[in-house]
Amino acid sequence: MRKFLGIELGSTRIKAVLVDENFAPIASGAHNWENKFEGGFWTYGLDDAWAGIQDAYAKLAADFCDKYGEPPANLDGIGISAMMHGYLVFDGEDNPLVPFRTWRNTTTEQAAETLTKEFGFNIPQRWSIAHLYQAYLNKEEHVKDIRFLTTLAGYVHWKLTGRKVVGVGEGSGIMPLDTATNAYDAAMVKRFGGLSGIGLSDILPEVLNAGENAGVLTADGAKLLDPSGVLQPGAVFCPPEGDAGTGMVATNSVKERTGNISAGTSVFAMLVLEKPLSKVYPEIDMVTTPTGKPVAMVHCNSCTSDLDAWVNLFAETLESAGAEISKPDLYDMLYFKALEGDPDCGGLFACNYISGEPITGIVEGRPLFARIPGSRFTLANFMRAHLFSAMATLKLGMDILAEENVRFDTLTGHGGLFKTEGVGQRLMAAALNAPVAVGATAGEGGAWGIALLAAFAGMKNPGETLEGFLSGRVFANSAIKTAVPDGRDVEGFGVFMERYKAGLEIERAAAAINR
């Protein structure tokens, strides 16, 4: 049996998945973790990251042992994925210079606006290059000592292999790429040096294409991943990718006219373009597939976190009453309840912003719920309002792509929002007024996607493309269910959206309240 390991460090969970030569998951493990707001930045501790990786891998090894009689000692391939973007910088002795600054931070507005103007290319606030330039503008002491800048996926890969590399898709969220070469845009690198005096070529990780050998698991890396000592070095790594790239792979959305929606802590849609957009949009990121095809990305910082908080409150209420219900069953019950609600949520308003949202210009998040006296305040409408809220900002960005006449043949959903069968899918189809497909592997997410990239690097035939590998070998017989928009749901979401856009004035006022 061939074994390919995928590890993804998501916003709330670190997940490890092992697949065989038929690309089916054969073992898995997970570890929950949370970001912290410290020193004015959203961050995760690197020690917490390693503790989580080790725990997730230990659970996977135990799962494998239960099924096959012994833990895995040798792996054929490994892939590392994580939340895209953010800021991890190190000095000449490989010491971190500041705590990890995540994608969730909205502290780089000045840098993002300046670089967008200078480059003629949208630079979102969460991109690594925006974090670096903002630190330079802020005259932060550590900038002069930077010898390496990378992302979370690039960092973990480096520690396990010794190689400072990232995949093409991940690289496109660090700094704009030249799509002809899949390398950082040389003119922009030079322009950045002129603005800051920082030589990006000296500090950024090398960019590699999907399928390339990105190093092997070292002896130190094996001990770091599996302190028990069972796992042996030597497994070949694929290039590390961000959660956007692994989402595209996990949904077979890497060809032109395909797209996917990843919906969990954050929500983003990725559409692989046939032609460039007509102009620069601050609401639209231009990134790439793991093979360098241009992708329009609508990224929203908040999706289900506020909804999850309400579910936790309901769980606490039931526990206090002595009722017993598992968390998955509670989610299913509440999600299905939303389908009983009024199409427009009965006059209820919810805003799900846990953090700032650049698409709507909200600097800080303030999760909100409001209702008009006389509105239909039922559990069904409450849940429906929160689910619609999780999709509302995405809709604003997707409307821009619709005006650009961006076409797609398929739009596939994955992530936690789609775990309850038929609910998130149906409501997302209504929100976007487009068919949304969900496969049987929708809940596997990015860890499975990066495992597939590891398998591609280890199993691809001569001349075989990633697109052909996925369509012809991985997804050839996959079960897909598609939800088409329901007219009443579409109309109801339209009414909700008008209320939502008006309600953002409440959100802006609340964001000005610091305590």
Residue 305, pLDDT score:
92
| Residue at 421: amino acid letter | E
Task: Supply the CATH number for residue 491's domain.
Answer: 3.30.420.40
CB contact at 8 A, 284 and 298: yes
CB contact at 8 A, 123 and 115: yes
Measured CA distances, 10 to 16, 32, 36, 416 (Å): 11, 9, 14, 12
In a domain, 271, yes or no: no
Same domain, 229 and 327: no
The token pair at 353 is: 């912003």
Same domain, 106 and 179: yes
Same domain, 496 and 431: yes
| Whole-number Å distance between alpha carbons of 287 and 262 | 15
In a domain, 267, yes or no: no
The token pair at 144 is: 């002069």
Residue 514, pLDDT score:
74
Contacts with 465 (C-beta within 8 Å, 6 or more apart), sequence order = 291
Q: Count how many domains the chain has.
A: 2
Same domain, 337 and 245: no
As to burial, measured by CB atoms within 10 angstroms (0-12 exposed, 13-18 middle, 19+ buried), residue 465 is middle
Q: Does the CA dihedral 413-415-419-423 come out positive or negative? A: negative
CB contact at 8 A, 19 and 25: yes
In a domain, 461, yes or no: no
| Whole-number Å distance between alpha carbons of 443 and 154 | 24
Q: pLDDT per residue over 38-48, tens digit each? A: 999 999 999 99
CA dihedral 414, 420, 426, 427 (to 10 degrees): -90
Same domain, 340 and 239: no
Q: Does the CA dihedral 191-195-200-202 come out positive or negative? A: positive
What residue ranges in 257-392 does DSSP mark as E strands?
A: 258-263, 267-272, 285-288, 294-300, 348-351, 368-371
In a domain, 337, yes or no: yes
Residue 25, pLDDT score:
93
In a domain, 474, yes or no: no
Same domain, 34 and 177: yes
Residue 289, pLDDT score:
95
- Given a cut of 70, the residues of the chain with pLDDT beneath it are 441-444, 515
In a domain, 397, yes or no: yes
Same domain, 243 and 311: no
| Whole-number Å distance between alpha carbons of 283 and 361 | 10
CB contact at 8 A, 103 and 126: yes
Alpha helices in 340-486 (DSSP H): 379-403, 423-432, 445-459, 466-469
Residue 442, pLDDT score:
55
Q: pLDDT per residue over 404-433, tens digit each? A: 999 988 799 988 899 899 999 999 999 999
Contacts with 427 (C-beta within 8 Å, 6 or more apart), sequence order = 338, 384, 387, 388, 391, 489, 493
pTM listed for this prediction: 0.86
Same domain, 322 and 232: no
DSSP 8-state code for residue 147 = -
Q: pLDDT per residue over 362-380, tens digit each? A: 988 999 999 989 999 999 9
Contacts with 337 (C-beta within 8 Å, 6 or more apart), sequence order = 379, 380, 383
Measure the CA angle with vertex 482, ends 479 and 483; round to 5°: 150
| Residue at 167: amino acid letter | G
In a domain, 162, yes or no: yes
Rg from Cα positions in the chain: 22
Domain final residue pick, 228, 250, 272: 250
| Whole-number Å distance between alpha carbons of 242 and 151 | 9
Residue 443, pLDDT score:
56
Parent domain of 177: 4-250
Same domain, 187 and 98: yes
Same domain, 25 and 126: yes
Nearest to 67 by CA among 20, 14, 7: 20
Domain final residue pick, 223, 250, 277: 250
Nearest to 288 by CA among 161, 413, 185, 431: 185
Helix%, strand%, coil% for the chain, nearest 5:
40, 20, 40
In a domain, 403, yes or no: yes
| Whole-number Å distance between alpha carbons of 384 and 339 | 7
Nearest to 444 by CA among 413, 468, 473, 477: 413
Measure the CA angle with vertex 150, ends 145 and 153; round to 5°: 150
- How many other β-carbons are positioned within 10 Å of the β-carbon of residue 137? 15
| Whole-number Å distance between alpha carbons of 258 and 335 | 27
Same domain, 223 and 106: yes
Same domain, 143 and 14: yes
Residue with tokens 């495992």: 451
